[in-house]
Structure 1
Amino acid sequence: MAKTTVELPETLHRKLRVKAALENRSMNEIVLTALNGYLDNFRLSQDLPEVETVAAGARQNRSKKH
């Protein structure tokens, strides 16, 4: 799993921390659930390739260089 660090406004961080405590879940679970829910309907514009395609192309380019 990849790791990303973000800086959150204090109020948002507090809301997430409270939600995690109330639901007896980790902050990681709360944030991942929220992001996955947001990204379920996320689509790149038609002239841009999907994320998987971009990632696969990057892997192919790296393997050609080695």
Structure 2
Amino acid sequence: MTMNLREWRHFFKLRTSSAAHPQMREIAQPLLDEFKRQIPVIFDDIVYGEDKISNKTMGD
């Protein structure tokens, strides 16, 4: 499976939200932590349990 950064952001938005299945969050959250460690400028705005990701460049 391959994904670009935009697709990973979408994946994390869906799979770390409060509506996601608990077992999916169990996998997605540590993965998101690693992405934040490796590429913080792209993934730091994603927070567990939030259904919206702010756009840093747009100031949302």
The TM-score with structure 1 as length reference comes to 0.28
The TM-score with structure 2 as length reference comes to 0.31
Higher helix share goes to which structure? 1
Which of 1 and 2 has greater Rg?
Answer: 1
**Larger RCO, structure (CA 8 Å, separation 6 or more):** 2
